[in-house]
Copies of this chain bind each other. A is one copy, B any other.
């Protein structure tokens, strides 16, 4: 019996047990394989309704040597969910917020619940789930756990890793590791959940998560600032953190060219702050008392302006004005440059100015006339580098630009993936940001938990030369 027959038999058996809608094949499966990037050609898509079903469906395939790829909201950008030759597990039927407790400040959520749905459920109970991503309407909890997503408030609240108290995962052998601890402190043995966070599904499949919540922070103070030097950008961050005493939640930077693009027609009729400054920072603080917080926020900005660190500033006077400032930041990456290559990197703040000069010069030398836009979660040293392509540019050129950005980043001891992960697209560059000894430890862990290399195989770790599997 060939592999295709094998799959047909397994699919029939699972449909018999779990219902026709539980397994998609052929065109129905392929119709699901679209998202923010390519999701390949899956052998089948299974749709469990519980952790037990996930384990049973997964084992049905892995015991025959068929690999498994978990799918969340399919917003990944590095090929981490590409399921060619594998069975995809979709969590679209496991999207329930099972429990929210505002005394214990926790939330128990199924893997397929979107970030937005989880946030709204928390908000309805007077609580706050801080992860804030552009993709939050689609990205799922299982996905943001598996990629350790970042976003716009990492500076204050940390990445997804810091929001996870406990996890439930299914391993390659079908065993369920249920570690849904609701505790902030739990030093009982190895903190194994940390392994699965950011592993992109290569060690196991996340089915549920116990998340940490915070009390609602109803006040929001937002400002757009113009600065003249990168040194001021770095100093301002420290000054604001000190003066706002923990309220600072967002510190986003746009370089001048990016700001110009995001505020000129057709993006919008005119800029909020005039063009001409070297750097534009979007700052947001969150707290519990709108009037007192606003007063404190404005006083901090006014004091810092006196020192000359801030050249120009406008404070949002309403939610509408704040949203308008955010729309500039969100437009900053995309509108004018498409099609483009985007690379997500991070660096020490102290080297960013020199890095950017070097990078621009290298890109200009190799691809004269291409345009480079830079925006960043600069409070975290995270920059999204966006380089324009021509309409008919080849995949080779796309790859060459991406490699040039990563090469430059590595020379400045940066990370070639700050928040998007490694997936398929960056696995061959992993050694730019990790030493051979680190990669050896990763391989040892992979072998320990997935000895047959069936969990999202080929992702994250570079292929071993001369070996078929990782």
Verify if A159 is at the interface (C-beta below 8 Å from B).
Answer: yes
Interchain CB contact under 8 A, B246 and A184: no
Given contact pairs A194-B194, A444-B448, A185 touches B418 in the complex (Cβ within 8 A)? yes
Task: Report the Cα distance A192→B442, complex, angstroms.
Answer: 7
What is the CB-to-nearest-CB distance from A63 to chain B, in angstroms, rounded to a whole number?
18
Verify if A357 is at the interface (C-beta below 8 Å from B).
Answer: no
Q: How many copies does the complex hold?
A: 2
Interchain CB contact under 8 A, A215 and B241: yes
User: Closest B-chain residue to A245, C-beta based?
Assistant: B287
User: Closest B-chain residue to A106, C-beta based?
Assistant: B348
Q: Mark A173-205, 1 if CB is under 8 A from B, else 0.
A: 001111101111111111110110111000100
Interface residues in A, total, Cβ within 8 A: 101
Interchain CB contact under 8 A, B185 and A154: yes
Closest 9 CB pairs of A and B: A245-B287, A246-B246, A194-B194, A448-B448, A242-B288, A185-B418, A186-B415, A188-B433, A104-B348
Question: Which A218-247 residues sit within 8 Å CB-CB of chain B?
Answer: 219, 234, 238-239, 241-247
Given contact pairs A104-B350, A178-B437, A420 touches B187 in the complex (Cβ within 8 A)? yes
Verify if A360 is at the interface (C-beta below 8 Å from B).
Answer: no
Residues of A within 8 A of B (CB): 101-106, 147-148, 150, 154, 156, 158-159, 161-162, 171, 175-179, 181-192, 194-195, 197-199, 203, 214-217, 219, 234, 238-239, 241-247, 285-289, 292-293, 296, 299, 346-350, 377, 380-382, 413-422, 426, 430, 433-435, 437-442, 444-449, 460-461
Task: Report the Cα distance A196→B393, complex, angstroms.
Answer: 45
Task: Report the Cα distance A433→B288, complex, angstroms.
Answer: 36
Which interface residue of A181, A183, A299 has the most chain B CB atoms within 10 A? A183
Task: Report the Cα distance A439→B175, complex, angstroms.
Answer: 13
